[in-house]
Structure formats: C-alpha cells, structure tokens
Amino acid sequence: MARAPGATSRGGGRWGGPDAARARLVDALRDGGRLTDPAVEAAFRAVPRHVFLPTMAAADAYQDEAFVVKTGPDGLPLSSSSQPAIMAIMLEQLGVAPGYRVLEIGTGTGYNAALIAHLVGERGTVVTVDIDADLVAKARANLDGAGYPDVIVICGDGGFGAPGHAPYDRIIVTAGAWDLAPAWLDQLGHGGRIVLPLSVRGIQLSIALEREAGYWRSRSAFRCGFIRMAGAFAGPESFLPLGPQPGLHVHTDDGRPVDAGALYAALSSPATDVPSGVAVAGLGEMGEADLWLTVTQPDLVRLTITGGGPLRGTVLPLVPLGAMSDSATVADDEPAGDLGVAALLPARAPNRGGPGYGGFEVAVRGFGSRGPGLAGRLAGQVVAWDGLDRPGTSDLSLRAYPLDTPADALPGQVILDRRHTRLVLSWPPRRPSAPGRLTGRGLDH
C-alpha cells in the first residue's frame, strides 16, 4: 500500500511514534464528541490499530480515515479498515458490557473485533464472521499478534450468522446491508440489540434496533458509508461503469436499472445551479436535507457516484452527497442525455463566508435537458425541509416489520419492502417554523 505523503519509517512516520499517534487520535475523537463512553474510549486507547494494518507505517495507522485493504478486479474496494470515528459511534450504539456475547458480521482486519473483545473482557465472547478466506486468515494473525487469541474467527457467509455460538447479547454488522437477515434476529437473545449500516434508498444509516412486540424499533441512527455485503444476502445495489474506464461508477437505490450512457451524457453536459436561499452550518446539516429529500421523494431515483476518471475533477466534488434523477432509464426513442439529474451542493453565502464547514447556502445543481426543472423542484423542497424545522437523522424513526404486515396498517409513512422485512420510516410531526434564510437562523445557530 502506498504511504501517505510525508510518511517515513515503519515505526515512526509523519505522526511520531504509534503510541503518541494513538493518543492523539483518541483525544481528537473524544474532543470532537465521537467518543462519549469511557469504556469505548479505553478500548481505543488499549488496542493497537497499527498491528491490524501491517503494511502501513505504524503511526500513520492512527489517522481518522478508512483504509482499503483489498480491491476487486475492477478496482472497487472489497474490504477496508473503517474510519475510527464511525467505529466509535457504532460501538457506543451497540452498548457492550463486560461478559456479553457479541457477534460481528464482517471481520475485515480484525481491529473492530479486538475493540469489542476489550469491552466484553475475559468473561465475554466475541465471534466474528467473514466470507473472504484470505481476510479471515490475516485477521486471525492480526488478532493473535495484538493479544486477542480468544476471539473466534469464522470463514462463512455472515448472512447466516454463527448459530453454533448463539444466542448473542449484541450483533454488529460492519458491511452495508440491504435487509435484516432472519438469522441475525433469530440469534439475538432476550433484550438483545443489533447495530448495522442499513441502506435507505441508497443512503446508509447506522441503525441500532431492539425488539418490540411484533417488530423491531430503532433507538439511534447516524449517517455512514460501508462496503456492501457479499454472499446470499447481498442487496440488489451494484456499481456499474459510468463513462470511460478506469473511471466513475454509479449505483441506484434498490438496484433500479440505469442507462449509464445517458447518465454520463447528462453529467457531461452544461450544468445549471438553482439557489435555495436556505443557509446551513456545514456539510453535515446539508446531509440532513439530502436524507429528507431522498426519503420523501420516492418517485426520484437516488444515484451514488464514486471513483475517478475524467469527471473526477468536476462532477465528484460537486456531488458530495449523491444525486437524484427523474428517470433511471431512457426509452429507445429518446436522445442520449434527455433526462434530469440534480444534486445538492454548497454555494457561497453572500457576505457570510465561503463554502465549506463554516456555513454556506444550499444550492441544487441540475444536469441534462431536464436538470434545471428538477433542480428547481428540489430547491423548493429544501425550503420545505427548512420550514419543518429541519428534520434530521437523529429524529428519524425506523421500524422493521414482517414482510406480510398490511401496508394499510401503516398510514402516512414511507414503506420500503425488502426480501424479509417491511421497513417503515417516519419523522415525528413538527410545527412548521419560519424558514431559515440567509439572514436568519441558518448561519447563526
């Protein structure tokens, strides 16, 4: 693996020694509000991440970044060591206590399993499953080298769990899931909790779920991004090449078909920006608007674009959260590019600083012949979101019912059907408020 610019020796690197680098990382996570549980903080201070990333300079392993550890023939990542910030969030969602039995789906490097092992202590049990035999072998060696030989590492399809060691107090999934596998729910004991990155119309949310009478209810949610599951329980979302390769790739929510040629033509065409007049404090808050639009506009197709290539310097930085289209496919008699694509992006707020994390106006960029109209529609919806007091991820309620639950028993809510479950999404009713315009609360709160 190529080292980051400025990296030097195996032991030191540009961040100093590994112990000092680990302390700085944990301090930053704590000070940034990502680490609030003293037990989880202690686990991050104790477990050496660099042992699980042996090809990197040791201290460089303590950057708050995800590192790809395996790619496929198409160059797309197959496995990574997750960003420590989202690992901390998910472990706090999980709520592990000493003596717990925990199942992890998606072993990766083994680092997360070691953190969990530290949390459950000598009386607890950690079982981790990965479908990739090569990763399993390396994770086993990493765990032994870091001092966690008691973690049980299994090579298998994580969608089936690990019934030989069930029941579990907690289950954590560290690969993007499209559905709740029945085995996971069956293998959770009484009072158990599962945390997983669940795809909601192409947007992944780390959801903590607990059993209620006849359904599963979310306890917390955070936006995240994980490599998607492989195996029998993989979802229909798959990345398709977009334009010249090697280059960009795209996938649509729930695997709806896409005309990659028409989409590439639209994204390559001149763009039109439509300001919304709504100011936000940063990209995180703009992401809340993006989630709300995605959930509440089910007739539009959610697009996720990734990779490099000739559009990397133009489209990708200007589609930081994904895009939406008014058509995933183009009829044979339509000219290429005759569709609308639109994406939220930061725009300079007059007299209030530039785009970035210090505050900006939300604009909508439209691509393709129908892009300007679609951008105008979404800009209006951003104003509506603002007027509803900006419902966000933390307010979202997600419930998972058996697939045969009658839809008419769930009025006024967004329903997403999966292979095994019926997902129901809603936000609590809010009293409309005065919109936060550029001179209002949007940049002042």
- Give the DSSP per-residue string, 307-325: E-STTTTTHHHH-BTBEEE
Q: Which residues, including other chains, have CB under 8 Å from residue 322's CB and lie 6 or more apart? A: 202, 203, 290, 294, 302, 303, 304, 305, 343
Residue 146: helix, strand or coil by DSSP?
Answer: helix
Distances (CA, A) of 274 to 271, 347, 356, 378, 386: 10, 10, 18, 9, 16
Please say if 276 is a catalytic residue: no
Among 49, 9, 5, 8, which residue's Cα sits nearest to residue 26?
49
Separation between Cα atoms, residue 206 and residue 223, nearest integer Å: 6
CA distances from 322 to 97, 101, 140, 179, 426 (A): 37, 37, 36, 21, 22
Task: Determine contact, residues 103/170, Cβ cutoff 8 Å.
Answer: yes
The tokens of 348 are what? 């300079």
In DSSP notation, 42-108 reads HHHHHS-GGGG-TTS-GGGGGSSS-EEEEE-TTS-EEEEE--HHHHHHHHHHHT--TT-EEEEE--T
435: left (phi over 0), alpha (psi -120 to 50) or beta: beta
Take residue 354 and report the two structure tokens written for it: 């530039």
Which has the closest alpha carbon to 174: 121, 120, 132, 140? Answer: 132
Q: How far apart are CA 89 and CA 118, in angstroms?
A: 16
Strands 421-426 and 397-402: antiparallel
- Among candidate residues 181, 68, 191, the one with its CA nearest the CA of residue 129: 181
Rounded Cα gap, residues 116 and 99, in angstroms: 11
Catalytic-role residue among 81, 82, 199, 220: 82
Catalytic residues: 82
